[in-house]
Structure 1
Amino acid sequence: MFKKHIFGLLFVMLFSLINAQTKVDSSRVVRVLTYNIYHGETVSAQKPFDLDLLAKIISDTKPDLVAMQEVDFKTKRVLKMDLVTELGLRTRMVGVFGKAMPFDGGEYGEGVLSKNSFLSTKNHALGARENKEPRAALEVNVQIKSGDSIRFIGTHLDHTNDETDRISQAKQINAIFSQDEVPTILAGDLNATPESETMQVFYQEWKQSFKENIPTYPAVNPKIKIDYILFRPANRWRVIETKVIDEEIASDHRPVLSVLELLKE
């Protein structure tokens, strides 16, 4: 009887310990979305250009942070609109644009939306060879509900068949953001498949938020995974959920959502 009592007590203690380790602190949870918005152009929607649809898709995921790629700033093709500001107003989030290059009478690059105000922002130019499109990594720092500060980076790597520039850009990102242990999330269209050399470079410093390589591109009948949410340091984050959103008309990419918990030091 005594042994049974001890065994029962140990079982309760073990269960309590496991439960404590898996309990999620909602004040430390960060919902992250990455979305290549195809400069607002739709794939098969009734409207060829529909920011309201994009805003609804973003809002429906209830994100804290959104990394957007293929973002136009006052180009002719988007009627001189500032897409980040327009989507920020529609989603009731604060936004910032990061220029990668001049384009079509305006600028083209990255966008970040945040539910919380920015502590700081910085746009990092990523090098490219001659006659290749310049790229950028847009960094923001925000404070989450727990009072902790985190860093969030949105990026879009070279899209051409030759992987040389993508590998170089991945190395540049690693060099910039591996100098400290600030809890950091990297999200974007990396234009690289999971087995590629580019992703192997990233995996030297970053942990992936996904367990399965669910395709994200093209939006209609997706065939390959090229959109990612990564994080570092590995011991500061726990993955609660990751999924590819079943959406195929608002852009040529599917949005990807990850829910992460910032762990205490």
Structure 2
Amino acid sequence: MNRFIILTILFFLEIVSCHGTHEEIKDPGWEDTADPDTITVMSYNIKYGSPLGSSISDLEAIAGVIEEAKPDVVFLQEVDKNTTRSGNADQLKLLSERTGLSSYFYGRAIDYQGGQTGIGILSRYPLSDPELFKLPRVELGEQYVSYRVLVTADIRVKGKDITIANTHLALTAENREIQVPEIHRILSDSDNPVIFGGDLNARPDSETITSFMEYGYRKTCKTDCFTIPSVEPNRELDYIMFRPENSFEVLSHQVIGNLSSDHLPVVSVLQIK
């Protein structure tokens, strides 16, 4: 009887060990932050992996920037998937494999050169309920207006649920004016605190950023945080924000100097309240 029980237990354990979950993540290669109640977030427009002044993709350089910053969550913009210009690479998947941030979600904005281009999220925490939302747009005469999207997902950090969201807003103020309310409407459906970031194509004193502030979002950058161009930057277009105001405390915000893209990445460390 004892032998039968032991064999039964061993058989059960073997079955359990062979059935993982799609949310299981690999060791990202670094230790937890010193304070377990913090989260480090990066936003980075990678220009399809092309360094400033170049059209040749160098994802290895982008991965190196991410690894050095050791973020928990990364918001990426201008990410290609199977396009000719990027050597038919699935850039988000490759960056996930290279950095060890194995939870990821891609959001297609448009079809391009036999593939897609869009935005994505990398995370060391499992992503739950990832969603892609198309943002509104209006044509401006004969000027082409590209489609823009928002990607969202939920993560759990030390037992607390957080909604994360990434976007790349339109170049024109007319389109951003209708995209900001739609983003707020979507994110307001979440009962969780929200961390939101991306390339917003707007300066801090613009109506775009003012609108986010009026909706209750708070920027992690408190002073001049110029992010473009990567050589002698002279304006801020890339942001990390959160709401409500009492959900996080900004411990640090940094713009990382690097020439791997035409934008500089921004990194914020947030204390979870």
TM-score by length of 2: 0.83
Unpaired runs of 5+ residues, structure 2, are 1-32
Amino acid at match of 2:210: Q
The number of equivalent residue pairs is 235
Matched, 1:150 2:158: no
Q: Which residue of 1 aligns with 2:152?
A: 139
Q: Percent identity of the aligned residues?
A: 34
The separation in 2 between residues aligned to 1:25 and 1:185, in whole angstroms, is 21
The separation in 2 between residues aligned to 1:55 and 1:180, in whole angstroms, is 31
The separation in 2 between residues aligned to 1:189 and 1:108, in whole angstroms, is 15
Q: How does 1:31-110 map to 2 (within 5 A)?
A: 31-43=40-52, 48-94=56-102, 95-110=104-119
Runs of 4+ in structure 1 over 3 Å off: none
Give 1:117 deviation, angstroms: 1.5
Give 1:170 deviation, angstroms: 1.0
Amino acid at match of 1:59: E
| CA deviation vs aligned residue, 1:179-210 (integer Å, no higher than 9, x gap) | 44411100100000001011111112211111
1:178 to 188, 199, 224: 188
Q: Do the aligned partners of 2:194 and 2:243 also contact (CA within 8 Å) in 1?
A: yes
Give 1:178 deviation, angstroms: 2.1
Give 1:244 deviation, angstroms: 0.5
Q: Which residue of 2 aligns with 1:169?
A: 179
The separation in 2 between residues aligned to 1:191 and 1:34, in whole angstroms, is 13
Give 1:25 deviation, angstroms: 8.5
SS of residue paired to 2:125:
coil
1:252 to 240, 262, 265: 262
Unpaired runs of 5+ residues, structure 1, are 1-23
Q: Which residue of 2 aligns with 1:18?
A: none
2:234 to 218, 223, 240: 223
Give 1:167 deviation, angstroms: 1.5
| CA deviation vs aligned residue, 1:42-61 (integer Å, no higher than 9, x gap) | 1258x932111100100100
Give 1:27 deviation, angstroms: 2.1
The separation in 1 between residues aligned to 2:34 and 2:191, in whole angstroms, is 21
Give 1:99 deviation, angstroms: 0.8
TM-score by length of 1: 0.85
Q: Which residue of 2 aligns with 1:243?
A: 254
Q: Do the aligned partners of 2:56 and 2:86 also contact (CA within 8 Å) in 1?
A: no
The separation in 2 between residues aligned to 1:104 and 1:157, in whole angstroms, is 22
Distance verdict in 2 for CA 1:25–1:167, change over 3 Å: farther
